[in-house]
Amino acid sequence: MTATHNEMANAIRFLAVDAVQAANSGHPGMPMGMADVATVLYTKFMKFDPRKTKWADRDRFVLSAGHGSMLMYALLYLSGVEDVTMDDLRNFRQMGAKTAGHPEYGHVDGVETTTGPLGQGITTAVGMALAEKMQAARYGKDIVDHYTYVIAGDGCLMEGISQEAISMAGHMKLGKLILMWDDNEICIDGNTNLTLSDDQCARFEASQWHTQKVDGHDPVAIEAALNAARKSDKPSLIACKTTIGYGAPTKAGTHDTHGAPLGADEIKGMREGLGWHSPAFEIPQNVLEAWRSAMARNSADRDAWEGRLNKLDAATKAEFVRTDAGTLPAGWEDTLNAFKKKMAEEPPKLATRQASGKVLEVLTASIPEMIGGSADLTGSVNTKTPSTASILNTDFSGRYLHYGVREHAMSAVMNGLALHGGFIPYSGTFAVFANYMMGGIRLSALMGKRVVYVLTHDSIGLGEDGPTHQPVETLAMLRSMPNFYTMRPCDIVETAECWATALKAEKTPTGMILTRQALTPLRTTHTDENLSAKGAYVLAEAEGGARKVTLMATGSEVEIAMAARATLQSEGVPTAVVSMPCWELFDQQDAAYRASVLGEGTVKVGVEAAMRFGWDQYIGSDGGFVGMTGFGASAPAPELYKHFGITAENVVAQAKARL
């Protein structure tokens, strides 16, 4: 049985409209407008086997305009992805349904990334397209050769992050990245000409993109444009001129179709206008079969690909399978442990950013899938190692991305690298600029991806650059994020332990918070156990009697706590120092361990060159705290520590005042 293009596209439209109506909530306008484009893409081009949604060499599809989630779910259902049933569509946006309000990675098969926050999808797709180029450089085009398609709306293109993504994609010549822009001239406040006068094609061309304009309701033109885009060796923009809410008799072309159900009357009129006679949530058999048979073409491709994979030599195949699965190579931890032992025995006085650089030398040598980078601060954040040659637009075999001064894109591109599979991304900027990439950091956490943010210059300890560059709130901000490990090691041994923990955290991103200034090594006795993996531990127990004071600190302030302990001990006060490199991990320990570390009933003082906010959970609201109470200042670091009173003397005084 056959079906026309219009019938196949209308199937998307009515699934979207009826599901939004049933949910009494959602965004029908975009799926209605982009149904033709999506139908051509899926039925003619997408290399996607509905029965093997995780096929490594599949084309990636990213719905950057995530509010149009019913387009995604309709495509998955019509394609024949088993995980998406008609009942799931009926339950759109209901408790426990796979069909959440926005497409959520890990929630349903076939959704490649979580979208909704605008601009993230485009940028994550840049990461996926980069990963494709990088894997192809390693395994050849027989094994890795796929496209990354994106559908984006005006909102995505208005977000600044999209410019960072466009600029980076153009520079890197990501020829297999194809962006279909839903050019419907409508935004929520009205016509886009209320806020926008950009010539988008000219803008993309300025960043070295191939561009085309096409009638987004003409399947022949769409097919021709996709063919041309695929042939270009530049990333490609297809501006698809569409009518938002296409098919709605009175609301089409207006923002009334954007974010609300159409209403029963409008839907009735739409059925009449488009000649669609099936009730809600019923797809005519010929249409469904046409969809399923169109997608069936992929299974032979996939079989052929598996044949090619099996012809690789055993070691190469094993490496592809291992890195695609995200499994770390054998032996990496022993190597790191030997390094840790050496560092404990011959402790260097280093900034933790430098310590991290040394740890990364060891890790990147033994874990080839680690991909470094920085937002134009390579020399400052110590993320480049002898193993990580620069990735160039002429050579993707390298392992280091020069992200440029594009922090927000960096976060989302790392998400894309991690989502694509095959790579473990890490990269760095100054800690205060976590602010610039919080949108991407949040998605790392929400999706549960192993992405490591190297965040250096982590306090007033950076000195003269002053308050614009001195984080005081950043630690608290990151700690308030669910499923994110905020790690702040105190010396090179803890830094090695934190890196090991971050790499083993397969479903949690990590922020590695590191100093600019040199620190005194404190972990000078080797232990095979990863003490930092417990989040907090007793670095120095009280001596000469039962513990009376517990000093808790992180990172650069642990040595201040140790100095304070020396004074208190010398005055006969049994004092312990607790190093707390990762609160989130400490909170996961059992109550007995936590109590033993925190020293119930002892006087507690926290020390951290940051706001107190969040500390009371450990020190109590009556505990002492030595840290910051506002923004920093511009001066040499030692003077700033003195000026803001973050000194051993003050720690001692805070403890004594409570004894």
Q: Check whether 198 is labelled as a binding-site residue.
A: no
| Helix %, strand %, coil % of the chain (to 5) | 45, 15, 40
- Measured from the CB atom, the residue of 53 and 69 that comes closer to a copy of itself is 69
List binders of a copy of itself among 601-630 (CB under 8 A).
Answer: 611-614, 616-618, 620-621, 628-630
Whether 497 is a known active-site residue: answer no
Please tell me whether 433 is known to bind a ligand.
Answer: yes
Q: Quick check: 104 binds a copy of itself (CB under 8 A)?
A: yes
Query: Considering the complex, what minimum distance in angstroms separates the CB of residue 291 from a copy of itself?
Result: 26
Interstrand relation of 177-183 and 148-152 (parallel, antiparallel or unpaired): parallel
CB contact at 8 A, 223 and 294:
no
Q: Which of residues 203-232 bind a copy of itself (CB under 8 A)?
A: 203, 205-208
- Smallest distance from a copy of itself to CB 199, Å: 5
Q: Is the CA virtual torsion 184, 189, 191, 194 positive or negative?
A: negative
Nearer to a copy of itself, 443 or 540 (CB): 443
Kindly state the smallest distance separating residue 529's Cβ from a copy of itself, in Å. Answer: 27
640 is in an annotated binding site: no
| Residue 252: CB minimum distance to a copy of itself, A | 19
Find the part of the chain contacting a copy of itself (CB under 8 A) among 177-185, 269-277, 350-358, 465-473. Answer: 465-473
425 known member of a binding site: no
User: Is residue 657 part of the contact set for a copy of itself (CB under 8 A)?
Assistant: no
Q: Which two tokens stand for residue 392?
A: 């160039």
Q: Which of residues 117-156 bind a copy of itself (CB under 8 A)?
A: 117-119, 154-156
Cβ-count burial 383-413 (b if 16+ within 10 Å, e if not): bbbebbeebeeeebebbbbbbbebbbbbbbb
CA-based torsion, 489, 494, 499, 505: positive or negative: negative
Residue in 419, 463, 412 with CA at minimum distance from that of residue 168: 412
Residues in Cβ contact with 166 at an 8 Å cutoff, skipping those fewer than 6 apart: 122, 203, 204, 207, 209, 235
Identify the CA nearest to 516 among candidates 425, 382, 374, 611: 382
Q: Which stretch binds a copy of itself (CB under 8 A): 53-61, 200-208, 323-331, 556-564?
A: 200-208
By C-alpha distance, which of 643, 644, 584 is closest to 608? 644
Q: Is 104 or 319 the residue whose CB approaches a copy of itself more closely?
A: 104
In sequence order, the β-bridge partners of residue 152 are 181
Position 196 contacts a copy of itself (CB under 8 A): yes
Interface with a copy of itself includes 654 (CB under 8 A)?
Answer: no
Centre a 10 Å sphere on the Cβ of residue 299 and count the other Cβ atoms it contains.
Answer: 14
Q: Is 398 in the site for a copy of itself (CB under 8 A)?
A: no
Q: Which of residues 258-277 bind a copy of itself (CB under 8 A)?
A: none
CB 151 within 8 Å of CB 182: yes
Nearest-approach distance from CB 580 to a copy of itself, in angstroms: 15
Note whether 636 binds a copy of itself by CB under 8 A.
Answer: yes
Sites for a copy of itself among residues 63-102 (CB under 8 A): 66-67, 93-97, 100-102
Min dist CB 374 to a copy of itself, Å, is 7
Interface residue with a copy of itself, options 158, 296, 365, 566 (CB under 8 A): 158
Residue closer to a copy of itself (CB basis): 394 or 570: 394
**Cβ atoms of residues 385 and 359 within 8 Å:** no
419 scored as a contact of a copy of itself (CB under 8 A): no
**232 known member of a binding site:** no
Least distance between a copy of itself and beta carbon 124 (Å): 13
**116 forms part of the interface with a copy of itself (CB under 8 A):** yes
Residue matched to tokens 């890990």: 106
Q: Does 572 bind a copy of itself (CB under 8 A)?
A: no
Q: Tell me how far, at minimum, the Cβ of 75 lies from a copy of itself, in Å.
A: 19
Strand order in the sheet with 510-513: 400-402, 370-374, 424-430, 452-456, 510-513, 485-487
Binding to a copy of itself in span 16-45, by CB under 8 A: 23, 25-26
Return the closest-CA partner of residue 168 out of 217, 215, 119: 119
Contact by Cβ (8 Å): 96, 153: no
d(CA 156, CA 561): 47
**What would you measure as the largest C-alpha separation in the chain, in angstroms?**
91
In this structure, the strands spanning 400-402 and 549-553 are unpaired
Catalytic residue among 159, 164, 369, 407: 407
Residues in the chain: 659
Binding-site positions read 27, 67, 116-118, 154-155, 184, 186, 258, 353, 380, 433, 457, 465, 469, 516
Instruction: Output the known binding site for substrate.
Output: 27, 258, 353, 380, 457, 465, 469, 516
Catalytic residue numbers read: 407
Which residues are part of a known binding site for thiamine diphosphate? 67, 116-118, 155, 184, 258, 433
